[in-house]
Amino acid sequence: MEEENPLMFKVLMTVQDLWKFSLYQSYRGLYGIFSLVYVFAGIYVIVTTWSSISPVYRLFLIGCYLLYMVWKPGYLYLKAYRQVEASKDKEDLILSFGEAGIGAYRGDKGNELSWENVNRVEQIGSMMVFYMKENMLCLLPDSAVGNYKPVLQALIMKKMPPERRKRI
């Protein structure tokens, strides 16, 4: 995938970026709907039964509610933190985007994929997510793209059909 002027970005993932992506992945779809129902049902049960239940049961209800509402996001944050810390010892990740496809390079190692191998591109919050074939994905924060975002979006719109791109 040798090209004249591919767009190249140095990707420095932050804990916040990975955490937000993990939250999005964890709480979308049916699980997200279930989570909302659980939150409102939990609040309803706590409020309506508060005066008629024992203090031990109150503690149990609040504990279950907090376990679900605090433990999962906290676990995802810790996981993102560990992943960022583990990648600090490695060389920087460079992503290149051109007419032929996407390249990912770390030091002297790299991988190149054509646009046909990209299943979907989605803008999620402040990052673009490239879902590749073979269960791979690439996260590209807006902070890495900077002022080149319109150029990258134009390239994506040119190379990806509308049904394979979301919010681009």
Tens-digit pLDDT profile for residues 20-57 = 999 998 888 898 898 888 888 888 988 898 899 899 98
Domain positions in the chain: 7-12+91-166, 15-87
Q: What is the CA radius of gyration of the chain?
A: 21
Question: Is pLDDT at 1 greater than 80 in this prediction?
Answer: no
User: Cα dist. 83→49, 100, 136, 137 in Å?
Assistant: 42, 30, 16, 15
Measure the CA dihedral 55/60/63/67, to 10°.
Answer: -170
Label residue 4 by pLDDT band (50, 70, 90): low
Measure the CA dihedral 14/19/25/29, to 10°.
Answer: -140
Tens-digit pLDDT profile for residues 128-163 = 999 988 788 889 999 999 999 999 999 999 999 999
Label residue 98 by pLDDT band (50, 70, 90): very high
| 79 Ramachandran zone, left/alpha/beta (phi>0; psi -120 to 50) | alpha
Mean residue pLDDT of the chain comes to 89
2 or 45: which leads in pLDDT = 45
Q: Which of 68, 91, 67, 74 is nearest to 15 (CA)?
A: 74
The hierarchical CATH code for the domain 7-12+91-166 is 2.30.29.30
